Amino acid sequence: MSEAEAAFLRLVRPCWRRLHLVARHYARSAEDARDLVQETLLRGWAAYHSGEDRSYREGWLFVIQRRVAAEWARRAGRRVRLDTLGHDELTDLVGTELSEPLDALPASTEQRFDEFLDDDLAAAFDALEPPFREVVLLSIGADLSYREIAEVLDCPLGTVMSRMARARRALRERLASVARASGWKVGSSP
Amino acid sequence: MICSEARQYIFAFLDNELDRALTLEVQRHIEHCPLCARECEIENVMRRKLVDALRERDEPPAFDEPALLELVRCGASGAGPARPKYSRRWKLGAAGAIAAAVLFAVTLFVARRGGEPGPTALADALAADFDHFVTEGGSLQIVSADAKEVSDWLSARTALAVRVPTLDAGRGTLLGGRKCKINGASAAFAVYRVSGELVSVVALQGSGDVLASMKRIQSDGHTHWVDHRQEHTVVACRRGDLVYAVVSRLPEKALLPLMPPGEN
């Protein structure tokens, strides 16, 4: 194995699981997600090998992955979905000012609150608007910094911060809504 | 800082994305505001649970280095009518299987002999990383005194099966951890305060070869390696496929309790 090949694979290894996690968000099936990761790695290697992009920070592969997903979405939208809403549209989705109090969650014991989250948090996350889901996934799932996310999404850092705050608020709103619908007493937090 | 201001920064604060000044301001507000402290705690729990929930999703295929190497080589050469799909209908002919086995053996050999931090380079790199941490003001990505919480956080972010030590009461306090790189390799960094001094415990992938030039010592039936430098002491051991190294300005004797039982 050449030094370049070994170095590239050393770069890929810690990102492997996270690349698949994010690819699964873009792709319509697990198999398409794996193909997306495969294409990402091929392009990543082409850039690395040619010396085209020498800033091999962790987010770099995720930038490539999103670029590939965007191309596939334009060419044949069946395999991937990439919802790109404008900043104003996202603001309308969570119109609350970011300085306002967060939605209250069920008043309960700590254990019951834990159980509530175990049951409903994943579903609330899945129900988020795709751009909100994406930014949370890139941060919490892929463990990218806001700066890296800004590169992936090709938007300013401030937009990432604002979108992240709105996404987490949206998640909180959904959970509060699920709690109310389930008959939980929503009031002061546990 | 008032509550409405703190609320704007709460998520970035939990994600360790604020600059030092703003982090301290938010931290000070939370320390004095029970309501915001509670909200912060709730969001922290939600964040942790979301990490777990996302990790439990579709299991990706195992990281198959020989197959990936084959993939990038075919991709680089543009060989064949279509790129091989490692995820579907992946079949290797007999010759391909033998080539892959040979390649894998060579890869293992190279991984053991090359591509790892050199023995002297490791102690240098560890000491430099420790100094960098101290002089930059000690920025941690997870702040917790719970060894399991810190270990799980580091394991999730470095793909290393890290277990940071739990100190007996009175011996010292775990402050938290961060991921870092030692000689370009992903590493897990935890920091303690022991006798008023900072002590780092770093875990990284490596064979025992990287410890070869350090002084080997026996203590309570366990083997450790030591490097006494001008301003630091570095004590290290192997544990499975990881090397654990403790770095501090404290003497060797004070650092031994932080070593996990090593292999002989």
For residue A33, give the CATH number of its domain: 1.10.1740
Question: In this structure, are A49 and A114 located in the same domain?
Answer: no
Would you place residue A159 in the very low, low, confident or very high pLDDT band (cuts 50, 70, 90)? confident
Residue ending a domain, among A26, A42, A75, is A75
Q: What is the domain class of B119-258 according to CATH?
A: alpha beta
- Give the lowest-confidence range in A18-22, A117-121, B168-172: B168-172
Looking at chain B, which residue has its C-alpha nearest residue A110? B42
Residues of B in contact with A6 (CB under 8 A): 107, 110-111, 115
Dihedral sign for Cα B212, B215, B217, B222, please: negative
Tally of structural domains, chain A: 2
State whether A45 and A130 are in the same domain: no
What is the pTM for the complete model shown? 0.58
Q: Tell whether A186 is covered by a domain.
A: no
What is residue B90's predicted lDDT score, i.e. its pLDDT? 39
pLDDT value at residue A76: 65
Percent of chain A with pLDDT over 90: 16
Q: Does B181 contact chain A (CB < 8 Å)?
A: no
Tokens 């875990």 found at: B203
Cα(B122)–Cα(B202) distance, rounded to whole angstroms?
A: 11
With beta carbons under 8 A apart, name residues in chain A contacting B83. 38, 42
Residues A99 and A54 in one domain: no
User: Predicted ipTM?
Assistant: 0.81
Comparing B159 with A95, the larger pLDDT belongs to: B159
- Mean pLDDT of the B143-157 span: 85
Question: Band of the pLDDT at A20, cuts 50, 70, 90?
Answer: very high
How far is residue B206's CA from residue A137's CA, in Å, rounded to a whole number?
A: 31
Instruction: For B226-250, write each residue's pLDDT tens digit.
Output: 888 778 889 988 888 888 999 998 8
- pLDDT recorded at residue A98: 65
Higher pLDDT residue, B120 or A140? A140
Query: Nearest by CB to B7, which of A37, A102, A137?
Result: A102
The pLDDT of residue A36? 92
3-state secondary structure of B68: helix
Confidence of residue B136 (pLDDT cuts 50, 70, 90): low
Whether A70 and A112 share a structural domain: no
Q: Are residues A14 and A45 in the same domain?
A: yes
Q: Best-predicted range by mean pLDDT among A30-39, A48-57, A177-186?
A: A30-39
**pLDDT tens digits, residue range B38-49?**
888 888 888 888
Q: Which tokens in the block code for residue A37?
A: 């990761």
Q: What is the pLDDT of residues B202-225, one digit of tens each?
A: 998 876 667 777 888 876 677 888
pLDDT bin (cut points 50, 70, 90) of residue B20 is: confident
Q: Tell me the C-alpha to C-alpha distance, in Å, between residue A139 and each of A65, A143, B106, B162.
A: 15, 5, 37, 22
Q: For A36-64, what is the mean pLDDT?
A: 80
Residues A58 and A92 in one domain: no
pLDDT averaged over chain A? Answer: 79
Do the Cβ atoms of B180 and B189 come closer than 8 Å?
yes
Asked whether residue A187 is assigned to any structural domain, the reply reads no
Nearest to B60 among A17, A125, A171 (CB): A17
* Beta pairing partners, B215: B226
Question: Cβ(A37)–Cβ(A61) under 8 Å?
Answer: no
Listed by start position, the domains of chain B span 3-55, 65-113, 119-258
Q: What is the mean pLDDT of chain B?
A: 76
- pLDDT of B118 strictly over 80: no
- Are A125 and B85 a contacting pair at CB < 8 A? no
Interface contact B115-A6, CB threshold 8 A: yes
User: Comparing A190 with B240, which gets the higher pLDDT?
Assistant: B240
Under an 8 A CB cutoff, do B12 and A8 touch? no
Shared-domain flag, residues A92 and A173: yes
Q: Are residues A91 and A172 in the same domain?
A: yes
Closest CA of chain A from B58, distance in Å: 8
Average pLDDT over residues A146-174: 89
Q: How far is B245 from chain A (nearest CA, A)?
A: 21
Neighbours of B113 (CB within 10 A): 10
Regarding whether A56 and A18 lie in a shared domain, the answer is yes
Do the Cβ atoms of B41 and A136 come closer than 8 Å? no
Looking at residue A39, its pLDDT comes to 92
Q: Do A38 and B39 touch (CB under 8 A)?
A: no
Same domain, A91 and A152: yes
Question: How many contacts, defined by CB atoms under 8 Å, are there between A and B?
Answer: 133
Final residue of a structural domain among A75, A97, A121: A75
Mutation target to probe the A interface, by most A beta carbons within 10 A, among B39, B85, B87, B178 is: B87
Q: What domain range is A35 assigned to?
A: 3-75
Looking at the fold, whether A97 and A168 belong to one and the same domain comes out as yes
Do A92 and A18 share a domain, yes or no? no
CATH of the domain at A105: 1.10.10.10
